[in-house]
Amino acid sequence: MYFVSSQIIRSLVQFLVAQGLDAHTINSLLSSRAEHLDDSRYKYPVADYEQLMAYAAKQLHCDHVGLKFGQSLKTQSWGLLGHIALVSDSLGKVLEHALQLNTLIRNVGIIQLNHEQETSHLSWSPSTEIQHYMVDELFSSWLAFAKYCSSKNTDLSLLKVQFTRAEPHSESLRAYKAIFNCPIEFQATTNTLSFKRNMLSNPLNSANQELEQLLSTQAMALISEDDRINQLKALITAHFPDVPNVEQAAIQLGLKKRSLQRYLTEQGCSYSQLIDEIRKYHAKRMLLQKVSVLEISNRLGFSEQSALQRAFKRWYGYSPKKFLAQIKN
């Protein structure tokens, strides 16, 4: 099940009520699950998040309600991950923790951090079909966190923001421009924040290395068996096109190589099968977003374009070109 933590849903409910929406109606959308809002371990189906956001957008006549929610979020709404972020020593360290622990908050998408010379690209790819509200929330909340935890003189300007969603109407477009204050591309192939790479080394105001290590250890212990698979998928995806081998992945997860292999065997798969599954999902997603076969091949770490074409036919029964033709028909 794709889920969102109770901390996020509770914060969303409080935000929507503060916007003037009726609390009883909001809670009724959650049905009996509303009683779990104060249970920090409860996981809400992502459909609840989607329904609340769609309702709010309609009632408030606000297509950018996700942006507004992200701006309002307190770091504590991220649960234990939020507390770890607050005591981390740099934005780079915060993102390192997010890559490892984001499944404590939601398992709806995959975070990637890639570097290109002096530029860094922070991307989020949904693992299931969702609307644009969640990526709006994530990007605006990440930026709000960076501003909150950095010194006043820190340069946090973005170089570019990309969204896969269609361009919104003029009022919402003004909101996007006001929050990100940089060139924005809509109907892009990825959801990505691009910024100067040295931003990652900027020190944060409340760094506490001892507490950071203590909380990180506690968080790792909370990751369930199901979350471990999602964590491993996020790790592999974040390193594309240079996929880590099983030993490197085990080290990143704080496990021994044999322990990881044994765990995967218990889950009925192997490390190579997991990589294949991830490539299958992202190849189809990017193809539908009109990314070229050559570019997909490069991004997913295939040795050559023909290797991707063979794999795609094995996955879906058609070559990429014929697959697109079938979709159109």
| pLDDT score recorded for residue 226 | 55
Average pLDDT score over residue span 177-193:
95
Judged against a pLDDT cut of 80, whether residue 221 lies above it is answered with no
- The Cα–Cα gap between 156 and 320 comes to 40
- The Cα–Cα gap between 188 and 195 comes to 17
Judged against a pLDDT cut of 70, whether residue 152 lies above it is answered with yes
Supply the Cα-derived Rg of the chain in whole angstroms: 20
| Residue type present at position 205 | N
DSSP code per residue over 40-59: TT-EEEHHHHHHHHHHHHHH
DSSP SS3 for 204: strand
Judged against a pLDDT cut of 80, whether residue 119 lies above it is answered with yes
| pLDDT score recorded for residue 328 | 75
| pLDDT score recorded for residue 280 | 92
Judged against a pLDDT cut of 90, whether residue 217 lies above it is answered with no
| pLDDT score recorded for residue 192 | 95
* Res. 87 pLDDT band, cuts 50 70 90: very high
| pLDDT score recorded for residue 227 | 67
| pLDDT score recorded for residue 44 | 94
Q: Give the chain's length.
A: 329
Average pLDDT, the chain: 90
- The Cα–Cα gap between 235 and 243 comes to 9
Query: What residue ranges do the domains of the chain occupy?
Result: 63-201, 225-329
Phi, psi of 204 (to 5 degrees): -100, 160
What pLDDT digit, counting tens, does each position of 265-311 carry?
988 889 999 999 889 988 988 898 888 999 999 999 999 999 999 99
- The Cα–Cα gap between 36 and 150 comes to 34
Between 30 and 326, the more confident residue is 30
Do residues 50 and 131 touch, judged by C-beta distance below 8 A? yes
Average pLDDT score over residue span 69-87:
89
Between 15 and 74, the more confident residue is 15
| pLDDT score recorded for residue 164 | 94
What pLDDT digit, counting tens, does each position of 29-42 carry?
999 999 999 998 89
CATH number of 225-329, picked from 1.10.357.10, 1.10.10.60, 3.40.50.300, 1.10.1200.10: 1.10.10.60
Structure tokens at 271: 């490390």
How does strand 184-185 pair with strand 158-162?
A: parallel
| pLDDT score recorded for residue 267 | 81
Nearest-5° Cα angle at 82, 78 to 84: 150
DSSP SS3 for 324: helix
Judged against a pLDDT cut of 60, whether residue 225 lies above it is answered with no
- The Cα–Cα gap between 155 and 134 comes to 26
